[in-house]
Amino acid sequence: MPNIKSAERRVRKSESNREENQEVKVAMRTSIKKFNALVEEGDVANAKDAYTTAFKRIDKAVKKGVVQKNKAAREKSRLSKQLNELTA
């Protein structure tokens, strides 16, 4: 445990930041999993809605600095590929 007051504040702040980042990351992962489940079922209409939701969540995670740009691009590419295979 830190002895200095500013270090105590920094610990509290970093913990709250970690929790916020975790929420964003969990929301992103959940939306991707929902999309993947709909693709497995072959539900095209709902998969398109889940696709847009997942894109938004991924972009929001990048904007907040939770996920790197390249990881986001890779995830979005995979989602697009799955959706294109499903609709084709």
CB atoms under 10 Å from CB of 70, counted, come to 9
- Both structure tokens of 44: 């095209």
Query: CA distances (Å), 65 to each of 7, 38, 54, 62, 85, in order?
Result: 23, 28, 17, 5, 31
- Tell me the pLDDT of the chain (88 aa) as tens digits: 889 999 999 999 999 999 999 999 999 999 999 999 999 999 999 999 999 999 999 999 999 999 999 999 999 999 999 999 999 8
The amino acid at 6: S
Label residue 19 left, alpha or beta by phi (over 0 means left) and psi (-120 to 50 means alpha): alpha
pTM: 0.88
**Right CATH for 5-87 from 1.20.58.110, 3.20.20.140, 3.10.180.10, 1.10.600.10:** 1.20.58.110
